[in-house]
Amino acid sequence: MKETGGAGTVLNLGAIRNKLRFRPSPPQVMTFGFIFLILAGAQLLSRPISYQEHLEVPFLDALFMSASAVCVTGLTVLDTGNHLSLFGQIVILVLAQTGGLGFMTMATLFALLFRKRISFRERLVLQESINHASTEGVVRMIRKVLLYALVIELTGAILLSGYFMLEMPTGQALYFGVFHSISFFNNAGFDLFTQIPDRAGSLLHYVEDPFVNIVSMLLIFFGGIGFLVISELVTYPKNRKLSLHSKVVLSVTGILTVVGAIVIFALEFSNPNTLQPLSAGGKVFGASFQSITARSAGLVTIDPVELREVTQFFIVLLMFIGAGPGSTGGGIRVTTFAILVGAIIAMIRGRNDVVLFRYRISKNQIHQAIMFTMIAFVIICLGTMLLSITESGSFLAILFEATSAYCTVGMSSGLSSNLTDAGKVIMIVLMFVGRLGPVTLAFALNTRSKKELFRYPEGKITIG
């Protein structure tokens, strides 16, 4: 009997240990990983070595800059070019690269370099981080992600560095080329152009420059469509096949870019503070760049503050839609927008099925699209209301800033540089939730998932 009791005690202790052992789910790993990155970045950015001499920076400002970099947003409370030292700028760049590709992708890079085996649990986290369909082939996909990112960023760095050599010393041109290529591809929105005397920030100086416009827009485009789409574009000449996902992302991205450019061109054509003084080519580049950057990157060639209010509101809509899934951009995603539009068209035509490119979309995905959109809408509304209490500014400017933060865009109405401490905290939360995704965050906070044991009877209510 004693032996039996002893064995039972051992079994009970083993069961207790299993219960006490914390095994984070993939959403929890992602959540804690992003929090760790932001806090680690804030610690580095709060050190005197990260700033120019005689500049004291509160920890909250360092936390804001770190969150903006990790969440690849680009909103700043400090001038990246003038306030940060070389060390601080490199910290921002590393955080943006890690946040853009995903910290699990970067961790996998080191695991592959040291020939470490990737466990099944780690594959689950990788699947979650890059929105892959399954764990099968996820490590192979990560290798492609790293390769594509390296090739695109290196190409962008070479092109930009060569061009910048025409107007600055070689060393500075090389650094500017590398920094801005990584920033643009990851849709981070950070820039260093204020280091140049009498030069405005972002790409305001290059509004009519075809080379910088085209290279920057291509970097933003590839960063915003997602690595799955890039992978299929690379293999398309060989197999002549694109998945439904890639077709939707490419077509909707193209339509939104063209329509957005036309609308911005029409609204700002006669605005003396934006497009009117520019040449015909400058007007086209100005409208096109604002259209493509509004959905993910945050870089500008035209000051958003000078835009007409109707144009600012239209850009809010573009920011809300965002970029492609599994990309470095944010928003509700172009695929979600496509499903919502498809559902509206199907309802107007009296059809039961939502069909895109001759494929029927499942009811579950339609419900998810509605859920993602409503959650994003509610969070942005709540953030706007809170910022309206803590900050002084027009309602449209506050809505613009809140949407830019949650959708990790980085375009600013001028509010971020004058935020109160409470406003900075609200913006940090908006950036974090927007980058991680509210659904992922909800799964991370929900430690126990219970299976429904029964269903309620179906009811009917009047709609419309």
Q: Is residue 226, in this structure, part of any structural domain at all? A: yes
Selection from 362, 380, 396, 394 nearest residue 322 by Cα: 380
Selection from 439, 441, 449 nearest residue 28 by Cα: 441
Alpha carbon 336 to its chain centroid, in Å, reads 15
What range defines the domain where residue 165 resides?
A: 22-442
Q: Is residue 118, in this structure, part of any structural domain at all? A: yes
Selection from 102, 114, 220 nearest residue 160 by Cα: 220
Long-range (24+ apart) CB contacts under 8 A made by 153-161 are: 153/181, 153/182, 153/185, 154/181, 155/181, 156/180, 156/181, 156/184, 156/185, 156/215, 156/218, 156/219, 157/181, 157/182, 159/211, 159/215, 160/212, 160/215
In angstroms, the Cα distances linking 356 to 30, 108, 339, 346, 439 are 31, 35, 8, 10, 25
Selection from 316, 408, 335 nearest residue 68 by Cα: 408
Q: Count Cβ atoms below 10 Å from residue 154 Cβ, excluding itself.
A: 13
pLDDT of residue 115: 58
Q: Is the pTM of this model over 0.85?
A: yes
Query: Would you call 84 helix, strand, or coil by DSSP?
Result: strand
pLDDT of residue 1: 44
Per the rule left: phi > 0, alpha: psi between -120 and 50, beta: everything else, 307 is beta
359 phi and psi angles, rounded to 5 deg: -120, 135
CA distance 15 to 405: 45
Judge whether 79 and 194 are in contact, CB under 8 Å. Answer: yes
- Mean pLDDT by 10-residue block, N- to C-terminus, for the chain (464 residues)? 50 51 64 87 92 84 94 90 91 90 59 56 54 58 81 95 93 94 91 86 90 94 88 88 91 95 95 92 94 88 93 95 84 92 91 90 90 92 95 92 92 88 95 79 57 73 70
Query: Would you call 51 helix, strand, or coil by DSSP?
Result: strand
Q: Is residue 78, in this structure, part of any structural domain at all? A: yes
Q: Is residue 452, in this structure, part of any structural domain at all? A: no
User: What separation, in Å, do the N-terminal and C-terminal C-alpha atoms of the chain show?
Assistant: 71
Provide the token pair at 157.
């760095």
DSSP of 317-371, one letter per residue? HHHHH---TTSS--SS-HHHHHHHHHHHHHHHTT-SSEEETTEEEPHHHHHHHHH
Q: Is residue 206, in this structure, part of any structural domain at all? A: yes
Q: Is residue 460, in this structure, part of any structural domain at all? A: no
Q: Is residue 295, in this structure, part of any structural domain at all? A: yes
pLDDT of residue 265: 96
What's the CA angle centered on 325, arms 128 and 428, to 5 degrees?
80
Q: Is residue 463, in this structure, part of any structural domain at all? A: no
Query: Would you call 114 helix, strand, or coil by DSSP?
Result: coil
Total structural domains within the chain: 1
Alpha carbon 426 to its chain centroid, in Å, reads 18
